[in-house]
Amino acid sequence: MSELYFPVKLELRIDWSELDYFGHVNNVSFFKYIQASRVNYWEKIGLTKSHLETQIGPMLASCKCDFKLPLFFPGQVQIFSKVDYIKNTSFSICHKILNHKGEIAAEAADIMVMYDFNKNEKVVFPKDLKDKIEVLEGRSF
């Protein structure tokens, strides 16, 4: 997998508390990994800081995960993320979760809507944010 294609990487340690009855990482923990990677991406483009300053930011509309391989303790995961698309008021971030062997354990996709939390309404995706994503991703949307 090309890191240029998925420019944002997050490494996390698998914790024993994330295991389920069967001894592998519980599906809920996969969503925690996805959330951590999503927020990591936001921080890379300045979205977290901007949201704190303006109260305009992303609202999660959907999160989908396709499980490919189980994960086990002890271990590490790597989550690679990229923006899939940017529309008028929404955008999507895709994630690939890899096990310690570099195998794809899961693929996920978030859909978020840009939202003005002051006015309680959707807003147009900000151009400056799109510009930052294009620089990070090395491509145009």
The domains of the chain are located at 8-137
Task: Give residue-wise pLDDT tens across range 16-60.
Answer: 999 999 999 999 999 999 999 999 999 999 999 999 999 999 999
Q: How many residues does the chain have?
A: 141
Long-range contacts of 93-99 (CB under 8 A, 24+ apart): 93/37, 93/38, 93/41, 94/6, 95/34, 95/37, 95/38, 96/1, 96/6, 97/30, 97/33, 97/34, 97/71, 98/1, 99/69, 99/71, 99/75
Task: Give residue-wise pLDDT tens across range 106-141.
Answer: 999 999 999 999 999 999 999 999 999 999 999 999
The CATH code for residues 8-137 is: 3.10.129.10
Average pLDDT over residues 65-87: 97
Position 5 scores a pLDDT of: 85
Average pLDDT over residues 91-111: 97
pTM as predicted:
0.93
Res 103 pLDDT > 70: yes
**CB-CB contact of 79 with 29 (8 Å):** no
Position 83 scores a pLDDT of: 98
Q: Which residue has the higher pLDDT, 125 or 4?
A: 125
